[in-house]
Amino acid sequence: MEVDVIIPVYNEENVLRETLSSLENKTWVKNIIVIDDGSVDQSVSIARQFTNDVVACSKNLGKAAAVIKGLEYVKSEQFLMLDADLGVTVSEADKLLLPLKDSSVDMTVARFPKRNKEGIGLVRQRAQKYLKRQTGFESQAPLSGQRAIRKKWIPFIQSCSAYGYGFEMVMTLQLLRNGAKVIEIVTDMDHRRIGKTPYGFYHRAKQWIDMERSIWRYKRGI
């Protein structure tokens, strides 16, 4: 199985090299598509050392817009969405691909192991409850950005109208409502954690606002 990999990037020079080099030797990687979302560090130059498919946005558009931009470059029948800060744990993406060998599975979503320095989880719980109420799907990782998806679902993802951190939840909702089979996979992936710090609470407040705006927008079909 060959897949394309979409990696949205925003100021990730400290870990991007480790993430990309860990992907470089994976036999299933056909193309690595890096969408730089207006970084002001060395992310673009680092990405260009590993792939020719680097799209540098002139300003920060947000993760959802970056991922949707990356979808334009997908050629393989399956693709991965992965965060830039996974480092060596990006190798766990293998586990997301295996279930796609079953033709009935359309999207896999990575569950991360529970570790210290996590937040309270209110945004995650809000997304879990909304997904279950709307579709019956019981998600443990509604906000996870690590996903393997069949190419045929790209038009449904491109039509996702969501704000920032609400993108992944709306994507899952969109696919489920259109008949996709979605499963979650336990992985040992890890990335930067912000914990219960002042910035952490600010970050989660922004997540909450984005989630509520996305739900409001989805309800109204905007």
pLDDT band at 163 (very low <50, low <70, confident <90, very high): low
Q: What is the pTM of this model?
A: 0.89
Short-list 76, 5, 91, 84, CA closest to 44: 84
pLDDT band at 119 (very low <50, low <70, confident <90, very high): low
Cα–Cα distance for residue pair 40/25, rounded to 1 Å: 28
Fold classification of 3-219 is: Spore Coat Polysaccharide Biosynthesis Protein SpsA; Chain A (3.90.550)
- Name the token pair of 39: 């970084």
Q: Where are the domains of the chain?
A: 3-219
Tens of pLDDT along 192-207? 665 555 545 455 677 7
Query: In the prediction, which pLDDT does 20 show?
Result: 97
Residue 120 pLDDT > 60: no
Short-list 109, 111, 92, 89, CA closest to 100: 109
Residue 44 pLDDT > 60: yes
Query: In the prediction, which pLDDT does 8 show?
Result: 96
CA distances for 189 relative to 13, 16, 93, 200, 206, angstroms: 19, 15, 8, 20, 24
Residue 116 pLDDT > 60: no
Amino acid found at 186? V
